[in-house]
Amino acid sequence: MIQLNSEQLGLWIAAFVWPFIRILAMLSTAPIFESRILQRRVRIGLAACIAITLMPILPPPPPIADSHSLYILIQQLLVGVAMGFTMRLVFAAFEVAGDLLGLQMGLAFAQFIDPQKGGTSPILGSYLSLLASLVFLALDGHLLVITAIINSFELVPIGSSLQVINLETIALTGSMMFLIAMQIAIPVLAALIISNVILGVLARAAPQMNIMSIGFAITITVGIWVLWVSMPYLMSNFDSMINRLLTIDIFNNT
**Angle, CA 123 vertex, CA 119 and CA 127 arms, to 5°:** 105
Q: 137 φ, ψ to 5°?
A: -70, -35
60-to-13, 35, 150, 254 alpha-carbon distances in Å: 11, 32, 14, 21
DSSP 208: G
215 domain-assigned: yes
Structural element, H or E, at residue 114:
strand 111-114
Judged against a pLDDT cut of 80, whether residue 43 lies above it is answered with yes
Is 188 inside a domain boundary? yes
pLDDT at 58 over 60: yes
Whole-number percent of the chain with pLDDT over 90? 0
Q: Is residue 203 part of a domain?
A: yes
Q: Which of 37-41, 57-61, 77-81 has the highest mean pLDDT?
A: 77-81
Element (H, E) at 121: strand 119-122
Give dist(CA 243, CA 138) in Å, integer: 12
**In-domain check, residue 252:** no
How many Å apart are CA 90 and CA 243, to the nearest integer? 9
- Classified as helix, coil or strand, 57 is coil
Integer angstrom CA distances of residue 207 from 199, 204, 211: 11, 6, 7
Query: H-type helices in the chain, by residue range?
Result: 6-27, 40-54, 69-105, 123-138, 141-155, 167-205, 211-246
Residue 1 lies in a domain: no
Does residue 174 contact residue 197 with C-beta atoms inside 8 Å? no
β-pair partners for 111: 122
Count of structural domains, the chain: 1
- Please tell me the number of Cα atoms within 13 Å of 64 on its side-chain side: 22
Kindly state the DSSP code that residue 38 receives in the 8-state scheme: S
pLDDT, one tens digit per residue, over 83-126 is 888 778 777 888 888 888 877 777 766 665 665 565 566 677 77
* Residue 245 CB-half CA count within 13 A: 35
Question: Looking at the domain assignment, is residue 214 inside a domain?
Answer: yes
**What domain range includes position 34?**
6-246
| Res. 254 pLDDT band, cuts 50 70 90 | very low
pLDDT of residue 181: 81
In a domain, 254, yes or no: no
Residue 14 lies in a domain: yes
Provide the pLDDT for residue 5. 56
* 3-state secondary structure at position 120: strand
Amino acid at 148: A
